[in-house]
Amino acid sequence: MDKLQPLLQVLADGEFHSGEALGAILGVSRTAVWKQLKKLQQFGLSAESVKGKGYRLPGGLNLLDERLIKEQLDPVVVRQLSSLIISQVIDSTNTQSMARIRQGLARCGDVLVSEQQTAGRGRRGRQWQSPYAANLYFSLVWEFAGGVAALEGLSLTVGVAVAEALASLGAQEIQLKWPNDVLCNGRKLAGVLLEMSGEADGPCSVVIGIGLNVKMRAEMAAAIDQPWTDLATIMTGAPERNRVLAALLNALIPHLQQFQEKGFAATRQRWQALDAFYQREVTVSQGDKLVLGKAAGVDESGAILIETGLGLQAFNGGEISLRLANVTGS
Ligand code: BTN
């Protein structure tokens, strides 16, 4: 990464740079520049080369920048952040944040964001496609005093925070699919993966992992196993990624503080107003069990409520999958 990072910074503008100029910036020969340019392939990037003009990355790159992110954070949020680490390539920001918790190195308010994940993880064992500098992939560590039981509804609260952040950026038609998939026009825009470590009734740390499609690389599309979209598609052009990350943290941290005081009850109405499946025929599957009914919102613990032939039933837990009846792939 030694020379690659400065090379990426220069090429991020999408303009042509001569081999000579790049060599001067990196302090290497033109041959060494060419070798570095070849290495961009590891990020799925390839520089265009035009005789007499030099090299460029068509379309440029919108790279993460600590200063730009911090400048756009609300002061109250800055006070709650313990660290903001920007990684270039990582297996998974959640995996590494959980490792830091186990090693006793994590603090409440640590944010780890990466330009790329090589083993990004989704819910229920899915992969999360995480190409370089395309979308946002980050994890926030937060500590709660009341034990795992007090965290009921937290994952739904995070979904509401993401939806509100996107609305604050001008995105429209944002909805939630229980528990916290963020959708636009029925297509997945963002996902949340919560992982916990700690006592059943004592202090515990939560890693809140968020993946948001900002401008997905077209070549990744085939690898995504569900209908998806990105901000570049639903807005007029992709918003600046540092601004989007700041908006997400500006929404998320106040929500977490409110959740600590009041639990999910304070956010339940807002979740229901964003519910993509409200009053629609759905199937709920939990292991071998399959239930058909009409989605009827969520209860105060964040469980999904379904009107069934046997009356109103509540379902909760990570292994539940909810689909629109007669629709596959949702
Ligand atoms: C989902 O399946 O909807 C959850 C997706 C969560 C993806 C994010 S990207 C940042 C963090 N690191 C991971 O490995 N996963 C989460």
Ligand 1 geometric centre to CA of 208 (Å): 9
330 band by pLDDT with thresholds 50, 70 and 90: very low
**What's the rounded Cα separation, in Å, for the pair 106 and 6?**
29
8 A C-beta contact, residue 3 and residue 25: no
Beta bridge partners of 197: 205
Give residue-wise pLDDT tens across range 151-177.
Answer: 989 999 999 999 999 999 999 999 999
- Cite the DSSP H helix spans in 42-132: 66-71, 75-80, 93-102
The crossing angle, in degrees rounded to 10, of helices 19-26 and 4-11 is 130
Torsion of CA 254, 143, 149, 316, to 10 degrees: 60
pLDDT of residue 237: 86
Tokens representing 49 are: 């080369």
Q: Establish whether residue 178 lines the binding site of ligand 1, counting it when its CB lies within 6 angstroms of any ligand atom.
A: no
Ligand 1 touching residue 177 (CB < 6 A):
no
Structure tokens at 316: 């909760």
In this prediction, residue 328 has a pLDDT band, given cuts at 50, 70 and 90, of low
Q: Is 35 a known active-site residue?
A: no
Terminal alpha carbon distance of the chain: 39
Distance of CA 60 to the CA centre of its chain: 22
Three-state helix/strand/coil letters over 112-151: EEEEEECCCECHHHCECCCCCCCCEEEEEEEEECCCHHHH
The residues facing 188 across adjacent strands are 183, 228
256 to 136, 159, 208, 234: CA distances (angstroms): 20, 11, 10, 27
Taking phi first (over 0 means left), then psi (-120 to 50 degrees means alpha), and beta for anything else, what does residue 311 get? left
**How many Cα atoms sit within 13 Å of 281 on the Cβ side?**
5
Q: DSSP E strands: which ranges in the chain?
A: 48-50, 54-56, 83-90, 110-117, 136-144, 174-177, 181-184, 187-198, 204-212, 281-286, 289-298, 304-308, 311-315, 321-324
Summary mean pLDDT of the chain: 94
Distance, CA of 83 to CA of 77 (rounded, Å):
12
Q: Is the CB of 94 under 6 A from ligand 1?
A: yes
Q: Read off the pLDDT of residues 7-16 as tens digits, 9 standing for 90 and up.
A: 999 999 999 9
**208 CB less than 6 Å from ligand 1?**
no
Q: Which of 100, 121, 177, 188 is catalytic?
A: 188
Which residue among 137, 155, 206 has the greatest number of ligand 1 atoms within 8 angstroms of its CB, and so is best to mutate?
A: 137
- Which helix (H) or strand (E) is 275 found in, with range? none
For the stretch 32-63, pLDDT in tens is: 999 999 999 999 999 999 999 999 999 999 99
